[in-house]
Amino acid sequence: MKNWIFVLILLPLVTGFSCHQKMLYTPNITLKKDGQPCISIPIQKFNFFNKNNRFDIIEADVFQVGIGTLWEKEYYDFSKKYSVNTGECLRFEYQFQRNRVYSISFISAASGSKEFENGKQKIWSRDLRITTNTDGSAKLLLDLEARENN
């Protein structure tokens, strides 16, 4: 429950925006062959006719309830900006461990737009847990399923 307090109250306060002004978006998360998550901006979230499918990542973090922020990266220096296409795995430079619930979040703005300057960037957030199947392979649990039976 504390992770939702962070996402819904603390994250907007830290970024300078109140909850009622920002909608939380849900990133796509899949498992890569190495068992680590691939976190991306879903293609279907955006208008088919929108030609801009490239986004600047402004900030990203990994949070664990009871521990706090485990990893955080800010990309405020636009001379060294970090951009991704929809569907492309973001660089979360953190080694996720099995059987731990993580809350990941990041902030994006459409590349070449004034979304960041105008306060219209998107806040993405999701909970995840990587478990082990009976055959030893990794299994990804998301959101409520990730938080249950923890």
pLDDT tens digits along 18-74:
444 568 999 999 999 999 999 999 986 555 555 558 999 999 999 998 899 999 999
Is the pLDDT reported for residue 11 higher than 80? no
DSSP line for the chain: -HHHHIIIIIHHHHHT--GGG-PEE--EEEE-TTS-EEEE--GGGS-TT----EEEEEEEEEEETTTEEEEEEE---GGG-EEEETTPPP-----PPBT--EEEEEEEEETTSSTTTTT--EEEEEEEEEEE-TTS-EEEEEHHHHHTT-
- Tell me the average pLDDT across 92-112: 95
Provide the pLDDT for residue 6.
47
- pLDDT higher at 7 or 24: 24
